[in-house]
Structures are given as C-alpha cells and as structure tokens.
C-alpha cells in the first residue's frame, strides 16, 4: 500500500488537523458524539471527520459509524467537502455529506470559525444484523449542531424574538428579556445574522452497502432487484422480487437492459470508443502477465501491446472479444456479436446518463475488475482489497499507470470514460510527505 500512498492514490486529499485549537475542537465533538477522546497532536480527517490515525489509536475504525449505519460526522472546516469518505458502508453517504456542506456552506463557515459542528446521518435503522433491515432504509435526514448547541440556541432565540415582537405585554416581561440576552451572548444577533442549517432529507431508493459482502439495491427502477457480491443465500427472505449474485451474469445483464441503466461504449457519444477498448485490452494483458510471472516493471503501453501480439493465442477470451469490437469501431472488421454470456460483455458497457450512473458504474467495475482504471475510479474499496493480493509486478505497473496516465488529467479521463466529470469518490490529491511515513497501510480501508 505504500506505493499508493506515496503517489497520492490512497489517503490523498485528507484534511490535516495540526493546530491545538482544531485538535481541541475535534476532541470536544468526539466526546460529545462518542464519549471518546484522542491524545494525538495532529492527524488527518476525511469528509466525515473520521481519522485513520485516531481509529488506530482507539482500536476502532468505526468510532464514527457504529454498526455501520447512521454515520456520525465532525466538521472542522468546509474544505472537508472535497475530501474522500473512507470506510464507506453506504454508497450515498459521501454525496449526502457533500451536498449538506455545499447547501449550508456560509453558515457552516461561520460556525466552524468558533467551534466544531457534529452531527449524524439519521434513518430509522440502527443495525442491519437482519438483512431485511436494509430495505427499511427509505430516507436519510441530517441532524447537526456545534458542540455548544449554537444552532439549537439560535432557533430558541429566534422564537423568543418572535414572541417579544408579537405578544402584547412582552415589553414588560423581564424574564423573557433576560433569557433573550443570555442566549444572545452565546449566539450573537440572529436577526441580522441568522444561524440556521437547512433541514435536509434524502431519498434512498438505489444504493450500495458493504454489509453482507456487498449488496446493490435497486428499488427506484421499473424492475427492482438486489445484486449480491457475496452469497445471496445469506440475505434470506427479503422484500424484493429478484435477488441475483455476481455469477448470474445473464440475469444481471437483462436487469440492466430492461431498466435502461447501461449503454454500449461503442454507441456512446463524444468518446473514442476504440481507444477505451484498447486500454481495457492492455489491462487484460497485464492480468495474464501476472499469472505467467512476467516482470512488467516500467512497461509502457507499447511494451504491453508488443507482448499481446507475441502471446495473442494465450490471452483469455475477454481480450479477443474486445479486440474484435475495437477493430469494428476502427472500421477494420465486422461487427462481433458479444452477448451477455461472453466474458467480455460487461467490459463493453458504461452507465447511461441517469441519476444513478455512479452506482451502475460501480457495479460494472465489480462485474469486470480487470479494468483497473474503472475499478480505481468507481469502486476504490474493492480496488484496495484486490490490490493487496496482486504480485509486485502488477502492483508496480498499475501504480505507474495510474500516476502517469490518469492523475495528469483525472477530470478529463472521467469525462471521456463516463461522460461526466464526477465520480463516486473525489479523486485524491498528492498527500503531504509526512502522511506517508506516519500513515502506514491501515487495514481499515479494505474492511
């Protein structure tokens, strides 16, 4: 994992907390939310305020995410909105937090100037020991306040001000006036500078969860289904008609097609389909070279393609299917029929343009993990888990590729691949040098 950290491909873009004032505010919020406290003088936090270093210190990497549901958060700065979300248990959490910060940025900026803001992503489910509980998750609302209760006090003061203005004898109510003065000392002038966070609620129809080995739940589509990365029998009797596992490729393909969730790369507008397919072929060659024990350290795209020509007969069916499709896209061959039974099928697709395209691209990355670029962009947790099992040769090639050919223009690459510039997780920026030596390859990310 150190290679990834050094290149900014892991734990990048975290927020460095290194001032005594910020550490003290973080501890106030941490005690308020969890009853725990850190003795660290500096550490790094993600968008939710989770710190891998603090998780190591406490021996609990779910200290802000008890039971993996109702994630709590600590905001020290609105700049956290660009940070990734580590240890995500639900695919929607980072988007919710980012939208909450964006919609309340001015208020949060003012509140964070004096205190930490702590809160929770609240739903009606407090544990998911029974898989059926996942289907009880319908809406998420956000509850947030400073550790000193500034938002609550401001709402209370606003109500008292309204009473003072509207009730007939309020001018003579010394108790009301004294209470208003006392609260105003803590909140400031809420008439000129209102302190209010928007009430926000988020519908949860389609999402991924890390629970039960990974489950994709699609309820907000015409033909609902759940797709399991693990053994679907462990879900038991759940309130959805169709449940698939990753081996049921034909049924998943039909589900994606019936709901209009995907489109062939070759039919997508404004992209170089052949170039994308050729790059996917290179990744398949790298996979085959790993199995053959070849050393790919420092290999260029030209080296990989020479290797492919020399050993074409030994490459898997995925490579040959993509080769035929790329040749057609370049006008050099006939249209190849690649059905859902073909092992290359999911490599030929991307999400269509709809609200759940990030979720669908995440699913496609898991169905076709040979495409390490899509895997890294769309499903980082799975990428990190698989990376740990690769040979040093493949690790070296993948890190070099992502650093050399992807990080130089991440937004452009995402736009070319998926038709938009956003991805399920904010792309990391190169980390400070000190994090490489202090962080280490925490096991928490893959858990």
Per-residue confidence band for 74, with pLDDT thresholds at 50, 70 and 90: very high
Do 386 and 398 contact (CB within 8 A), yes or no?
no
Q: Report d(CA 338, CA 343) in Å as an integer.
A: 9
Percent of the chain at pLDDT > 90 equals 53
CA-nearest of 394, 369, 384 to 444 is 384
Query: What phi and psi values does residue 379 have, to the nearest 5 degrees?
Result: -150, 70
Which of 55-59, 167-171, 291-295 tops mean pLDDT? 55-59
Q: Encode 389-404: b = buried (16+ Cβ within 10 Å), e = exposed.
A: ebeebbbbbbbbbbbe
Q: Does the pLDDT at position 209 exceed 90?
A: yes
Per-residue confidence band for 423, with pLDDT thresholds at 50, 70 and 90: very low
pLDDT at 194: 55
Q: Report d(CA 262, CA 183) in Å as an integer.
A: 55
121 forms beta bridges with: 142
Length of the chain: 447
- How high does pLDDT run on average in the chain? 85
pLDDT at 95: 93
Tell me which residue has tokens 């505010």. 25
pLDDT at 436: 41
Distance of CA 56 to the CA centre of its chain: 21
Strand spans (E) along 251-382: 262-264, 349-351
Please give the average per-residue pLDDT across 279-287, as a whole number.
90
Q: Does the pLDDT at position 166 exceed 90?
A: no
pLDDT at 157: 64
Q: Does the pLDDT at position 228 exceed 60?
A: yes
pLDDT at 97: 96
Mutual angle of helices 273-292 and 301-310, in 10-degree steps: 70
pLDDT at 24: 96
Q: Does the pLDDT at position 446 exceed 70?
A: no
pLDDT at 189: 54
Please give the average per-residue pLDDT across 239-259, as a whole number.
96
Please give the average per-residue pLDDT across 148-165, as a whole number.
71
Comparison of pLDDT for 161 and 194, the residue scoring more: 161
Tell me which residue has tokens 């049924």. 251
Q: Report d(CA 113, CA 74) in Å as an integer.
A: 14
pLDDT at 244: 96
Q: Does the pLDDT at position 428 exceed 90?
A: no
Q: Report d(CA 326, CA 329) in Å as an integer.
A: 5
pLDDT at 322: 93
pLDDT tens-digit series, residues 128-147: 989 999 999 999 999 998 88
| Cα radius of gyration (the chain) | 25
SS3 245: strand
pLDDT tens-digit series, residues 92-115: 999 999 999 999 998 898 888 888
Query: What phi and psi values does residue 72 have, to the nearest 5 degrees?
Result: -90, 160
Q: Report d(CA 6, CA 436) in Å as an integer.
A: 6
Please give the average per-residue pLDDT across 251-261, as a whole number.
97
Q: Report d(CA 325, CA 274) in Å as an integer.
A: 8
Q: Does the pLDDT at position 206 exceed 60?
A: yes
pLDDT at 180: 64
pLDDT tens-digit series, residues 350-401: 999 999 999 999 999 999 999 999 999 999 999 999 999 998 888 888 998 8
Per-residue confidence band for 434, with pLDDT thresholds at 50, 70 and 90: very low
Q: Report d(CA 326, CA 335) in Å as an integer.
A: 10
Q: Is the dihedral of CA 198, 201, 206, 207 positive or negative?
A: positive
Percent of the chain at pLDDT > 70 equals 87
pLDDT at 190: 47
Comparison of pLDDT for 314 and 22, the residue scoring more: 22
Please give the average per-residue pLDDT across 281-287, as a whole number.
89
Question: What tokens appear for 35 in the block?
Answer: 């009853």
Q: Does the pLDDT at position 427 exceed 60?
A: no
Weakest-pLDDT range from 6-15, 116-125, 314-323: 6-15
The DSSP annotation for 108-142 comes to HHHHHTTS-EEEEEE-S-S--SSGGGGGG--EEEE
């Amino acid at each position: 994992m150190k290679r990834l950290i050094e290149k900014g491909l892991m734990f990048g873009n975290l927020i460095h907390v290194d001032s005594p004032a910020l550490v003290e505010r973080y501890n106030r919020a941490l005690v308020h939310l969890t009853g725990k406290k850190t003795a660290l003088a500096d550490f790094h936090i993600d968008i939710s305020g989770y710190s891998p270093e603090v998780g190591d210190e406490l021996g609990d990497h779910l200290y802000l995410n008890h039971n993996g549901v109702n994630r709590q958060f600590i905001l020290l700065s609105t700049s956290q909105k660009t940070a990734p979300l580590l240890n995500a248990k639900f695919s929607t959490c980072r988007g919710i937090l980012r939208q909450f910060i964006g919609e309340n940025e001015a208020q949060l900026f003012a509140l964070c100037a004096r205190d930490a803001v702590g809160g929770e992503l609240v739903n009606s489910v407090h544990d998911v020991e029974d898989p059926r509980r996942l289907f009880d998750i319908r809406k998420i609302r956000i509850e947030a306040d400073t550790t000193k209760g500034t938002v609550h006090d401001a709402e209370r003061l606003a109500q008292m001000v309204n009473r003072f203005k509207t009730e007939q004898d309020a001018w003579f109510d010394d108790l009301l006036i004294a209470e208003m003065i006392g609260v105003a000392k803590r909140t400031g002038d809420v008439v000129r500078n209102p302190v209010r966070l928007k009430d926000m609620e988020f519908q949860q129809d389609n999402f991924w969860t890390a629970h039960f080995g990974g489950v994709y739940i699609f309820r907000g589509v015409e033909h609902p289904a759940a797709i399991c990365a693990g053994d679907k029998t462990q879900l038991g009797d759940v309130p959805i008609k169709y449940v698939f596992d990753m081996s049921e490729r034909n049924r998943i393909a039909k589900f994606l097609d019936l709901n209009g969730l995907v489109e062939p790369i070759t039919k997508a507008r404004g992209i170089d389909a052949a170039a994308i397919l050729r790059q996917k072929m290179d990744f398949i060659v790298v996979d085959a070279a790993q199995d053959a024990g070849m050393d790919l350290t420092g290999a260029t795209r030209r080296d990989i393609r020479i290797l492919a020509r020399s050993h074409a007969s030994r490459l898997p069916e995925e490579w040959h299917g993509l080769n035929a499709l790329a040749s057609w896209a370049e006008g050099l061959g006939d249209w190849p029929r690649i059905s859902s039974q073909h092992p290359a099928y999911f490599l030929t697709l991307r999400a269509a343009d709809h609200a759940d395209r990030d979720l669908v691209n995440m699913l496609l990355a898991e169905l076709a993990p040979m495409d390490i670029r899509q895997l890294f962009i769309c499903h980082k947790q799975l990428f990190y888990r698989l990376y740990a099992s690769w040979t040093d040769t493949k690790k070296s090639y993948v890190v070099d590729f992502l650093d050399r050919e992807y990080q130089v223009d991440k937004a452009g690459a995402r736009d070319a691949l998926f038709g938009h510039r956003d991805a399920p997780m904010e792309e990391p920026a190169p980390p400070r040098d000190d994090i490489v030596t202090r962080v280490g390859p925490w096991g928490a990310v893959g858990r």
